[in-house]
Structure 1
């Protein structure tokens, strides 16, 4: 890995820039190097040849992989599609990073856990994904570690923002159309703003660029971390908070229902809370409380 002073002028390759997190990364990473953002048209992550060709042409010092197959229910029947984006693509990016002596930042999910624990999950807790999406994301994690490249694997949860498809935008759309909405109230997690994820990622990489010895920095920091907003709520509680901070002229009534009343093809964990203590102890950073982040997000709207 290059010396920290050199990385400031080096290239950072960001994938999935049309997605929620990738779009925000393009803004948050400014100043840390030459940022190159690629969408699906510029880099087809389902093509191994394209991955190898593009990475070798760009020669990045850091790859930030914000692309993923995130259609959780669709993945139950499109297993191969989920595997291509969530397993094969990160495995190849990791291999190329290792070859270039670069580093890979990759995002994973709370869905690697089965949700039966009563307290927030820590990085060393046993994994037991209950759906195809979670299984493929876990396989992607394992592939990155097996490559031996310098890496940060950041597990997050309940990602939302003002782009793409997510719970926040769905609630705002439905809330403008209906007087009452039924929302699951027995699944718990931490709604995490895409901007928070991007900003904290930039914070971690800024610490690397400031290091006097980049190789030594990665030797101490490479690994798996949980990165979510602080605090937790249910989907029902999240929906109520969205409408409380929205500018809808008429707020819909949000009816609490059990997950059993809203069956989905993919099973979701009952507890999606992730502990951020390792991230705080190692890097000295903490995400904002989820309600505070939601207010900032809604202010942008």
Structure 2
């Protein structure tokens, strides 16, 4: 039997997931890149292959998975594995500023969820070979995320009020997976094995700006107007948290993409998922 050599070392990756949509996407993309992939939960960490690289993606399960995420991070800190890529969030920062947060800025979360994101990072901070990837706000992690909420509102014919005070760096799951797989490939090819890196869209926006683009894309699949109004939410507090991504580009050569890139296809897929396609 012919053995296929990818040149990766290690060539085995374990994705620690929460059972959500991101797990399968990461698994498939890593397999297409040539890795042998394990998809494990917190209760299956004893099945980790010796020396395998680990992608700790359990935090993507949302607030309901954060307790498990913290326990997983603590467990992984004591595991003898290869390089570890930990997926984190802009939520470790307080927000409310028009400046862009870079990797040198000190985390100072102001929400319970932000505290948990930071606790997961800190549990892994002293472990050798940890790469922390902080992403901007995920627009399509679940039906409760921004894209799903907007499209459900559009399909129900209800007008929506969206934040137009806070700017962010939106990221789709597809783009997150692209970045994670690119980092894994380079780590397995000899790139530096530790550090903190940020990634967000090349162009920041507010939830209202994002919603208006989504509405425009959704209209393109129908012959009639939805008759839905998108309006600024009154009294919205400025929680802007835009991430600077130059360090990731300079070290790994990963270019930012606009959040508009591929949005039409994302809208189409979510309309199908929500039962709204015709």
Distance in 1 between residues matched to 2:261 and 2:112, nearest whole Å: 32
Cα distance, 1:120–1:20 mapped onto 2, change above 3 Å: farther
Q: Does 1:54 align with 2:47?
A: yes
What number of residue pairs does the alignment pair up? 260
Question: Which of 92, 100, 103 is 1:123 aligned to?
Answer: 103
Separation in 1, partners of 2:243, 2:234: 22
Pairwise CA distance, 1:182: 1.1
In structure 1, the residue corresponding to 2:59 is in which secondary structure?
Answer: coil
TM-aligned CA deviation for residue 236 of structure 1? 0.9
Local SS of the residue matching 1:286: coil
Q: Which runs of 5+ in 2 are unaligned?
A: 1-5, 271-278
Q: Structure 1 residues 25 and 63 mapped into 2: Cα distance closer, same or farther (>3 Å)?
A: same
In structure 2, the partner of 1:198 is 177
Query: What secondary structure sits across from 1:154 in the alignment?
Result: strand
- 1:106 alignment partner in structure 2: 86
What RMSD over aligned residues (CA atoms) do the two structures have, in Å?
Answer: 2.4
Offset of residue 17 of structure 1? 6.3
Say which SS state the counterpart of residue 292 (structure 1) adopts: coil
Please state if 1:238 is matched with 2:238: no
CA contact (8 A) 2:18 2:60 kept: no
Structure 1 portions without partners, runs of 5+: 76-80, 212-216, 261-267
How far is the alpha carbon of 1:232 from its aligned partner?
0.8
Going from structure 1 to structure 2, the CA distance change for 1:259 and 1:138 (only over 3 Å counts) comes to farther
**How far 1:269 moved relative to its partner?**
6.6
TM-score (norm: length of structure 2): 0.84
Following the alignment from structure 1 to structure 2, what is the Cα–Cα distance between the partners of residues 259 and 292?
A: 31
Per-residue Cα deviation, 1:191-240 (whole angstroms, up to 9, x for no partner): 201010111111122223333xxxxx3xx341110012211111111111
Q: CA deviation at 1:149?
A: 2.5
Off by >6 Å, runs of 4+ in structure 1: none
| Corresponding residue to 2:117 among 129, 137, 140 | 137
**Contact 2:200–2:245 (8 Å) recurs in 1:** yes
Q: 1:166 to 1:54 in 2, by over 3 A?
A: same
Seen in structure 2, the aligned counterparts of structure 1 residues 125 and 258 have a Cα distance that, compared at 3 Å, is farther
Structure showing the higher helix proportion among its residues: 1
> Equivalents in 2 of 1:163, 1:259: separation in Å?
26
The CA distance in 2 between the partners of 1:250 and 1:116, in whole Å, is 35
Deviations for 1:70-126, whole angstroms, at most 9, x for unmatched residues? 545xx7xxxxx73x3232211211321xx23x1111111111111133211001112
Alignment CA distance shift 1:162-1:210 (3 Å): same
Deviation at residue 163 of structure 1 after TM alignment:
5.0
Larger relative CO (CA 8 A, sep 6+): 1 or 2? 1
In 2, distance between residues paired with 1:165 and 1:106? 23
For residues 106-157 of structure 1, the C-alpha deviation after alignment (integer angstroms, 9 at most, x for no partner) is: 11111111113321100111221011110111111111112x2212111112
